[in-house]
Every structure is written in C-alpha cells, then in structure tokens.
Amino acid sequence: MATGFTTFERLKDKGVSAFKSGDYAAAKSYLIQAADCMIELAETTVEPALRRQREQLARELIELARNCDRLAGAPRGRRASVKESEDSGPDASDWIVRDRPTIGFDDIAGLEDVKEEIRLKMIYPLSHPELAQRYGIRPGGGVLLYGPPGTGKTMMAKAIAHEIDATFFVISPAQVLSKWVGEAEQNIRKLFDAAKAEPMSVIFIDEVEALVPRRQTDGSSVMQRVVPQILQELEGFDRKDNRCLLFVGATNKPWMLDEAMLRPGRLDAHIYVPLPDAPSRYKMLEMYLASRPLADDVDLGRLCDRLEGYSGADIRNIADRAAARPFMDAVAGAEPRAITMDDVEAVIAETPPSVTPKDLARYDEFARSGE
C-alpha cells in the first residue's frame, strides 16, 4: 500500500504543480491518473471511514481535472487571476462551517456521567473563574468522545458549544484532507486560526480516526504530515484571558487513533458515551413517540425493558418505523388509527440491536488500556 501512496503523491504533486503553472493539459492528465490511483487504494481499504475519505479525495481530484478544460479556454487575464487565487489557497470561510447550536444538555436523554465530565472540563472553570485559577484548573483542551455508533456523540458536542455559548466549528476529515488538494496541513492551520479568533470555540471532528489514524498502519505521506500538524496546534494554543478552545474528536473506533493523539495535552480526556440506560431509554421513547397518536395499550415501561442493548439511533428508528405502519395503512385507504403496542413490538422483533456484545467488549478493553 505504501507503494500505491507514493505513486499517488507523485502524480498528485505533478498535477497540482502543472495546474498552478497554467499547464492545464498536463494537469488534467496527472490529476486523472492520481484519482485512478486513489480509487484503487480506496477499493483495498477495509476501514469504512478511511475508505470514504479516499473516495472523496478521488472525487475532488476528478473535479479539479474537469476544471482544467474550462480554465484552458479562459481569457489570459482570467487565467492569471485564477492562478493567484490558487497560489494563495482557499478562503477558510469557503469550507469551515461555523454554527451556534440550539441543543443543550437538557435536550439529551441521560448520559449524566458524560455531562458531568464535560462540566468539569469546560463549564465549571468558566462559571467559577476564581476557583479555577486558585486550583489551577484551565478550561479547554482536547476531548475524545468514543463509544458505539448512534449513542449521541455529535449531539453531545453540539450541546457543549451551546452550554458555554461557543462558536461551533464542525469539520469532516474529508474536508480537511480533500479541499485544495495537497494542502491538508494548511487546512489544519486555517481551521485552528479561525477557532482562535473567537472568544470561545469548539472544534468538532467526527470520525476523527480517519484524520489521525495510527501512522504505522497508513503509508500516506499526507497522514505523516497532518498528525504532527494537529498535535502542534493543540499544544500551541495559549489559553489566557478567558479565551477558550475545546477540540472534540468523536469516534466509534478509538483503537484506530494515533497513540500520540491520546497523550496528555492533546485528546487527554477520554469520555465513553455508552448505550442508553433505562431512564435514558424511557425518555427517548417519550421524545420519539409521545408527540404521535398512541393507543392506550402502549406501555413505555415495558418497551423500555425490551430495548435494553439498543442505541439511541436504534430507538428512534424503531419509533419511526412503528409510526409508519398505521400511516401506510391510512395511505392505502384504511381509517387512520393510533400506533399500537403490536406495531412497536413487531418492529422490535424484526430489528436486532446495531451494537453487539463483542463491540461492547472492545470498548471496555480500550477503556482499560487507558487506565
């Protein structure tokens, strides 16, 4: 695989160099070859998140190759202006998404231990600055949210930003690695520069293992440069004068992360986001079913027991599919009716949990390895 990446890097670098110099015919040829090479690498990649990132990178290269035909026919002055913008790189505002989430901790069912960890890391030091200074507690830093898929890690990251009234930067690994081909390190710097310009900010990267995988398992020279750049940015942030930056990475596969990212000063707070417990499942059932017409025989307590081992995403899906049964009957001409207990139990019977005991054991193993 390392040989494949070497070929890809060589073709990509030649394509980008030709593109910047205005030799669009050569650029198109090299970029298409690089895209083909990346497609082949993607097809042999087992890890789904990394495979998607590589497929996205191939698409970006193909799109850039297509632009070569358009630019080759552009007036000479237009070519110069395009080249100048290419040399300077993209404006971060073109791809860095800022948001002000409206979801808070009260909107998330359960996960009280997770919320308390977040309060200790971010909220309490900001709400009690004198005490924080006295005990040397500094807000911000790095947090890893890990656990099974569908447990609310993204929602938790949004709620963190809402609770501290911070600007929320949400970035995917594909955006960092694909935008402006070959300049991933610059993208990392621009992302952190944009976050540091805010009084309070949260950078959230989902599937963070695709951005900072174990370097010994990936022959990509891009990865060899991106991981140190992120480490440098995390260590170089100066948390003074109430300026606060929290870097949140979420992953379903924490064991795929580069070990350097898990050391103190980086993603040093490892917070397990588990499957919902009984009170959480009950609240989810209320959230997803209570606003819909329910028959008198629907027993949320009994359903709560039936759904042990299911993720939050599983429970929402079950509620949606249970509601779809009377809806489709009504569409077919039947008298509209309420959702019954039989509707919900029928859906549960044909829907196994998305997370297996083997998966849970792997998370326990990872948690023990960090103790």
Mean pLDDT of the chain: 79
* Residue 293 shares a structural domain with residue 269: no
CA distances from residue 296 to 285, 299, 329, 337 in whole angstroms, order as listed: 15, 8, 19, 12
- Name residue 309's beta-bridge partners: none
Q: How far apart are CA 168 and CA 97, in angstroms?
A: 8
> For the segment 15-64, what is each residue's pLDDT rounded down to a tens digit?
877 777 778 788 888 888 888 788 877 877 777 777 777 787 888 788 77
* Residue 18 shares a structural domain with residue 112: no
Phi, psi of 243 (to 5 degrees): -75, 130
* Residue 63 shares a structural domain with residue 112: no
Look at the chain and report how many structural domains it folds into.
3
CB 169 within 8 A of CB 154: no
Query: What is the model's pTM?
Result: 0.69
> For the segment 181-231, what is each residue's pLDDT rounded down to a tens digit?
456 677 778 888 888 888 888 888 888 887 777 765 545 555 566 667 777
* Residue 107 shares a structural domain with residue 240: yes
Residue 344: inside a domain: yes
Max distance between CA atoms of the chain, in angstroms, equals 74
CATH value at residue 313: 1.10.8.60
Residue 31: inside a domain: yes
Query: Residue 253: which domain range?
Result: 97-274
CATH value at residue 188: 3.40.50.300
* Residue 288 shares a structural domain with residue 269: no
